[in-house]
Structure 1
Amino acid sequence: MKTLKILALVVVAGLAAAFTTNTAAGGYKVGDIATDFSLKNVDGKMVSLKNMKDAKGYIVIFTCNHCPYAQAYEDRIIALDKKYKALGYPVVAIQPNDPVKMEADNFANMQARAKEKKYSFPYLIDEGQKVYPQYGATKTPHVFILQKTAKGNVVKYIGAIDDNYEDAAAVKQKYVENAVDALLRGKEVTVKETKAIGCSIKA
């Protein structure tokens, strides 16, 4: 029943919009240095990557309230933060949609969602929609794993969280977990890029 509900929501969201290209023109590629940002969190405070001084890197996820794909992945995003924040790779969630066009994603609704789901990570609003185009994000959810180095925050992985948005129990490839595990072991990420599956970002 849960799977059928998600599938029905996906149809409403529009399948055609979900399977377009992974990165927008001008967005980051694996190996690029990602610039920092300063965005407002749901608690009203400004958040930058540089403020997370103990981090070894970051799991930056562009996500939102309304998208059924984002909703299907929400518990998995929470689990990623609980697993990896203590190991040095916290989740940093960014809501990229225009809240005028998508009221469900406005700041008040973001605050309500974060409180309801007890987010343990920052949930930032991309006011003016300036950050997501720099990254090349096109979907919600869309993941960019960054590794902190002497040169800056290096993009190590871009794409999907895993290979099954419908059913967490049926996942065979945990792309984000595999990538972060490799980085924590000092190894190269094997799968560096996958296609992000989700709703198109509303600009």
Structure 2
Amino acid sequence: MQALKALALTGILLLSNFGSKENGLGVGDKAADFNLKNVDGKMISLSSNKAAKGYILVFTCNTCPYANMYEQRIIDLHNKYAGQGYPVLAIQPNDTGKSPGDSFENMQARAKEKAYPFPYVIDETQQTTTTYGATNTPQVYVLNKVSDNNFRVEYIGAIDNNSRNASAASKHYVQEAVDSLIAGADVSTKSTKAIGCTIKWSN
């Protein structure tokens, strides 16, 4: 009887963990570096930009309506903070077999159409996405440089608290986090729930 109970419990645990991608980096963890292909064909890593004091790392894509609603805000974040050492670096995490609209060629077209001022790289193996623990598009990781080529995660979550209307947002989580880092202060809101489309994982 005890053996049957143990087996049943194991089955429940396995089912509850099946397909889970929620384990990943947390606030305070060292950011994992990567080497991913940008829409211009060049390989990009955290160490590529020697002038960066940190990054606004955004998991986003072409096809998610929420990502589309936040697109201009992501561009605005880069334009506001890149010159202060905190540029945007966008990662497309979806499996392109399940989401053809997020193919590398479609990424190139989108970046050209919208004149992205930041790198837009593809995570073809989804290893970087898995390592970070991203689950949604868009989802932001604000990184701060702590030493040469070493970055720490300072914030994880949503860009602000109104996905549909930028002007109606009353909390600007990413802006507040980056402003705090520039001022040498602690980030007060360290994590929020990322609202958006679930990432399309390969089988």
Q: Does residue 22 of structure 2 align to residue 29 of structure 1?
A: no
Aligned-pair CA distance for 1:199: 0.2
Which structure has the larger Rg?
Answer: 2
Question: 2:77 is matched with which residue?
Answer: 80
Question: 1:177 is matched with which residue?
Answer: 175
Q: Does residue 60 of structure 2 align to residue 63 of structure 1?
A: yes
Aligned-pair CA distance for 1:25: 3.6
Alignment counterpart, residue 154 of structure 2, candidates 135, 153, 156 = 156
Distance 1:24 1:125 in 2: 18
Aligned-pair CA distance for 1:69: 0.1
Instruction: Indicate if the aligned counterparts of 2:22 and 2:134 stay in contact, CA closer than 8 A.
Output: no
Aligned-pair CA distance for 1:26: 2.7
Aligned-pair CA distance for 1:24: 3.9
Distance 1:51 1:144 in 2: 18
Q: TM-score, normalised by structure 2?
A: 0.87
1:136-155 counterparts in 2 under 5 A?
136-150=133-147, 152-155=150-153
Q: Does residue 201 of structure 2 align to residue 198 of structure 1?
A: no
Aligned-pair CA distance for 1:82: 0.3
Aligned length: 181
Distance 2:134 2:112 in 1: 25
Distance 2:33 2:127 in 1: 12
Distance 1:27 1:119 in 2: 28
Instruction: Indicate if the aligned counterparts of 2:60 and 2:92 stay in contact, CA closer than 8 A.
Output: yes
Aligned-pair CA distance for 1:128: 1.0
Runs of 5+ unmatched residues, structure 2: 1-19
Question: 1:3 is matched with which residue?
Answer: none
Aligned-pair CA distance for 1:79: 0.3
Instruction: Indicate if the aligned counterparts of 2:22 and 2:135 stay in contact, CA closer than 8 A.
Output: no
Q: TM-score, normalised by structure 1?
A: 0.87
Alignment counterpart, residue 123 of structure 2, candidates 102, 121, 126 = 126
Distance 2:139 2:22 in 1: 15
Alignment counterpart, residue 43 of structure 1, candidates 40, 43, 46 = 40
Alignment counterpart, residue 113 of structure 2, candidates 106, 113, 116 = 116
Distance 2:162 2:125 in 1: 32
Secondary structure of residue in 2 paired with 1:34: coil
Distance 1:65 1:139 in 2: 13
Instruction: Indicate if the aligned counterparts of 2:138 and 2:158 stay in contact, CA closer than 8 A.
Output: yes
Identity %: 58
